[in-house]
């Protein structure tokens, strides 16, 4: 999950706020591995939507279930970096010069991750409204 107001300097800071902060500061920005590792990044409003659907469903099969809440598509770290950088460059053109620094793969890291949102789609009617790109554009307003 990602969205505005995430602290890029917190003990548990996620990659998206760290990269916004790093690109805005002119670097450094680190990528573990070759950047082709992928994740199913999900904008926070999709999570809110799923929670509202869960709280208001009239489907008798839906309560007391565990659901994957995600966007349902993978984004590589390279794609994510390029998307964030493009948003920052709109207001800070010099950010185009920032290049990610590759680091070793993290031990035990999963190469590709994609959530199966099928159960939430079927039982709750969940359809994420915000793509990764849409979410990044909304979050960028706060980070910038």
φ/ψ bin of 52: left (φ > 0), alpha (ψ from -120 to 50), beta (otherwise): alpha
* Confidence check: pLDDT of 12 > 80: no
* Confidence check: pLDDT of 143 > 90: yes
Q: In the numeric block, which tokens belong to residue 136?
A: 């990044």
Q: Which fold has domain 15-143?
A: UDP-galactose 4-epimerase; domain 1 (3.90.25)
For the question of whether the overall pTM of this predicted structure is more than 0.95, the answer is no
How is residue 36 annotated by DSSP? Answer: -
Cα dihedral value 78, 76, 69, 85, nearest 10 = 20
pLDDT digits (tens, 9 = 90+) for 93-139: 999 999 999 999 999 999 999 999 999 999 999 999 999 999 999 99
Give the phi and the psi of residue 101 in degrees, each rounded to 5.
-105, 120
pLDDT digits (tens, 9 = 90+) for 48-94: 999 999 999 999 999 999 999 999 999 999 999 999 999 999 999 99
Predicted local distance difference test score (pLDDT) of residue 142: 94
Q: In the numeric block, which tokens belong to residue 81?
A: 């970096």
């Amino acid at each position: 999950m990602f969205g505005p107001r995430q602290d890029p300097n917190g003990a548990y800071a996620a990659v998206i706020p760290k990269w916004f902060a790093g690109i805005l500061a002119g670097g450094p920005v680190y990528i573990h591995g070759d950047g082709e590792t992928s994740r199913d990044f999900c904008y926070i409003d999709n999570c809110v939507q799923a929670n509202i659907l869960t709280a208001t469903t009239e489907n008798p099969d839906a309560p007391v279930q565990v659901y994957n809440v995600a966007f349902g598509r993978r984004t590589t770290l390279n794609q994510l970096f390029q998307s964030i950088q493009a948003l920052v460059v709109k207001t800070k053109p010099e950010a185009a010069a920032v290049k990610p620094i590759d680091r070793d793969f993290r031990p035990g890291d999963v190469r590709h991750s994609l959530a199966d949102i099928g159960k939430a789609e079927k039982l709750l009617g969940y359809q994420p409204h915000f793509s990764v790109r849409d979410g990044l554009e909304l979050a960028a307003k706060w980070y910038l």
